[in-house]
Structure 1
């Protein structure tokens, strides 16, 4: 199972609206060079909700070819149940290591309904399955305990940030699962999650300033409060303020950051997401210029 910094590449789109395979491959190689512990393909930052089945397959095939078993590769499955089951089977056929089960969008199910949804997907293949708590999905302890008993279920990723609930889940279930911080811009909350025993997190900024994510992660591991505070004040919180200015910037701001840092993937995103506005793009550019001056890669 992956630990440490988790890589979540984007889905680059060319001017004709199609998936840009070359830009996607460059994104993957950059993340591998940054030494992320694993790659999660076609998940939230990869605009899972907008991909065709063909594009989904393309992305996985490219990822498997480029990684060549250097790091684990996970796909994203979720949303409409039959589609999720289809993509889970496709993922297994293509040879990924596992998948992140995304929420059943727009549906607020009871606990038994959520259990059945995640159980059906997890048991549909032999792959490792990671449960993702996000949006409409909040697990009661007994529900997650039952899911943890399924052999394929090996991890839990939290995207809600309900600290009292997360504390109880971690205390009750313990090391039966691998625990991952999946909040948007997870660096912001990782010191708290680390104290609860979460050893890994998804890093959006690893797509464009991975040395900062690595420096921050090391500071957390070493309890280096001075470095943590400095990175918060000079890099992480300023970027996060830009991210929060528009809904959907959790995805589109990654592409802007990559463009600014000379890793062109285009700024096109698919509706309902919107591109980063010019003013906000310039704010991000100023932050990244300061970041590179203040904390140059070694």
Structure 2
């Protein structure tokens, strides 16, 4: 099994760029990732939730992974998403390994709600298909019990757990299960706009988090991360009240805006990454103007 080390820095989830014909634009993906790597993220998570994994065919997925690897040139680890129908997940896992990715984020399976034994078996099947390290995403229709997490952690390839469910009591039990296993497991806060909840997650032993905002506003995301690590409550509160909370209000107006707003923000920054794919929808012109104003406010708060 390959080793995976992720530095304690903000984690980057890039968008996937599409051209005017709706095809994956590898050059724009590479430009997007390369620029953001300049802000020193701990890792790049390509073709995951923010990258519209749900909408990518296997060959498109491979294009995104390959472009991301070119952009990073070994400077930071590159992990990629796998999930959905088991056959698709296995095909993506094999492609990621072939291309040289550093690890996989195992997202929920497609639609059906299986029992705990089935969720464990889903992770086991992916582990059997690749030598890459796995981070298991606890969210949606893939919510594990502490007993199931204990079973999953028996797989040497499982090196991390990402929580997207938001039940801190359950997340705390996962941390304790890992401690009892004697293994050094990576834990991540994977809630939407994780900056809003990271203080609570840090307190229970979950130090790292996904920052979707980093993709569109890396300066704001890095400033918040630095303030959080330094215990600078004033800066955190200023950014939460003036930027992150209003961003959540806008996000919650339309399902799927956790992705759509980030992609619109990248376009506002000058990179023409194209629209989101169905079933997601892009913000209206009025919503885009509100997002633009929020980004300006966030930068004023930094100043």
Q: What's the TM-score bracket when you normalise by the shorter of the two chains?
A: over 0.9
Q: Distance in 2 between matches of 1:285 and 1:35?
A: 24
Equivalent residue of 2:10, what SS? strand
Q: Does 14-23 or 42-51 show the bigger shift? A: 14-23
Which of 73, 83, 87 is residue 68 of structure 1 equivalent to? 73
Q: Which residue of 2 aligns with 1:155?
A: 160
Which of 250, 253, 264 is residue 258 of structure 2 equivalent to? 250
Shift of 1:105: 2.2
Q: Does 6-15 or 172-181 show the bigger shift? A: 172-181
CA contact (8 A) 2:15 2:263 kept: yes
Q: For 1:41-60, what aligned pairs fall within 5 Å after superposition? A: 41-60=46-65
Q: For 1:231-242, what aligned pairs fall within 5 Å after superposition? A: 231-242=239-250
Question: What 5-or-longer segments of structure 2 have no aligned partner?
Answer: none
Q: Distance in 1 between matches of 2:248 and 2:147?
A: 34
Shift of 1:41: 1.2
How many corresponding residue pairs? 295
CA contact (8 A) 1:123 1:152 kept: no
Q: Distance in 1 between matches of 2:25 and 2:94?
A: 25
Matched, 1:210 2:215: no
Q: Distance in 1 between matches of 2:145 and 2:184?
A: 16
CA contact (8 A) 2:239 2:298 kept: no
Matched, 1:292 2:289: no
Matched, 1:271 2:272: no
Q: Which residue of 1 aligns with 2:14?
A: 9
Encode CA deviations 1:113-157: one digit per residue, 9 max, x unaligned: 101011111232111101011111111111101111111100001
CA contact (8 A) 2:133 2:157 kept: yes
Q: Distance in 2 between matches of 1:292 and 1:217?
A: 15
Q: TM-score, normalised by structure 2?
A: 0.94
Which of 188, 211, 219 is residue 180 of structure 1 equivalent to? 188
Matched, 1:194 2:202: yes
CA contact (8 A) 1:132 1:158 kept: yes
Matched, 1:140 2:148: no
Q: Distance in 2 between matches of 1:82 and 1:21?
A: 24
Shift of 1:26: 1.5
Equivalent residue of 2:294, what SS? helix
Equivalent residue of 2:270, what SS? coil
Question: What 5-or-longer segments of structure 1 have no aligned partner?
Answer: none
Q: Which residue of 2 aligns with 1:86?
A: 91
Shift of 1:176: 3.5
Q: Which residue of 2 aligns with 1:224?
A: 232
Shift of 1:162: 1.0
Q: Distance in 2 between matches of 1:85 and 1:158?
A: 22
